[in-house]
Amino acid sequence: MDWLWPIYQEYLMRLVDHTTDQGVIQQAFIKTLAESTATLYAMEPVKDTIRFKGLGRWPLPKMQQLLSDPHAFIADQFGGGKFKVNFHHHLTFVGTHNFRTYGEEKWQTMDEINLD
């Protein structure tokens, strides 16, 4: 879960006073994660651009495998390729992280999920 801190750090610092002690910041981080969602997109090359194919959106507390080992979760569920995970706290965009996994591109045959 340490990989999430750099994504959430700037967002959290806007929510709490910069002089707040580390324990309070850590509690705010855990609370914010519990109220966040992760949205997964496959990055699909189309001509000279990238198309983002929606694959899923989940509440973070229900996604222990994604939190503990995102590469394994993505590879196991969706196969190889380039992926983007967007994080939202309620409706506010927090940040994004890109992943590259290897193997059969299972996501190619999956239906796109409309995530608007």
On whether residue 80 sits in a domain, the answer given is yes
pLDDT of residue 1: 75
Element holding 32 (H helix, E strand): helix 22-34
Amino acid identity of residue 12, one-letter, is L
On whether residue 114 sits in a domain, the answer given is no
pLDDT tens digits, 2-60:
899 999 999 998 888 776 788 888 899 999 999 999 999 999 999 999 999 999 999 99
Domain count, the chain: 1
Q: Which two tokens stand for residue 77?
A: 């569920």
On whether residue 59 sits in a domain, the answer given is yes
Q: Is the pLDDT of residue 116 over 80?
A: no
Q: How far is residue 17's CA from residue 43's CA, in Å, rounded to a whole number?
A: 37
**DSSP code per residue over 72-102:** HHHHHHH-SEEEEEEEEETTEEEEEEEEEE-
On whether residue 56 sits in a domain, the answer given is yes
pLDDT of residue 19: 67
Predicted model pTM: 0.91
Per the structure, the complete domain to which residue 56 belongs is given by 2-109
SS3 call for 58: strand
Higher-confidence residue of 17 and 89: namely 89
On whether residue 77 sits in a domain, the answer given is yes
Q: How far is residue 33's CA from residue 69's CA, in Å, rounded to a whole number?
A: 16
On whether residue 31 sits in a domain, the answer given is yes
On whether residue 116 sits in a domain, the answer given is no
On whether residue 115 sits in a domain, the answer given is no
Q: Is the pLDDT of residue 90 over 90?
A: yes
